[in-house]
Amino acid sequence: NQGHARAHFNLAFMYHQGHGVPQNYVKAYVYLNVAAALNEQDARKMLTLIQKEMTLEQVAEGQKQAEILWNKIKTSGKQSAP
């Protein structure tokens, strides 16, 4: 959770696919949002795709959780954006 874009993208992929973790679209959405905010281009593409698989409620919850995580990353000062 320290702001490493590709790591967030990889976590999102794992949650989306259920690889090693229970499948969870909301968590996937959270990590994709953070990765996208850190300029991970693949995350932006995947966000578009995953939103089509989610309910409006899931998207809203994902946005809420992503904002919380992003604020933690910003205040920690450990962003790795280019």
Residue-wise pLDDT tens for the chain (82 aa)? 445 899 999 999 999 999 999 999 999 999 999 999 999 989 999 999 999 999 999 999 999 999 999 999 888 865 544 3
CB–CB of 34/69 below 8 Å?
yes
CB–CB of 6/34 below 8 Å?
no
pTM of the predicted protein model: 0.85
Secondary-structure breakdown of the chain: helix, strand, coil percentages, each rounded to the nearest 5: 70, 0, 30
| Upper half-sphere CA count for residue 44 (Cβ side, 13 Å) | 6
Q: How far from 71 is each of 37, 52, 58, 66, CA to CA, in Å?
A: 11, 26, 20, 8
pLDDT of residue 74: 83
pLDDT of residue 57: 98
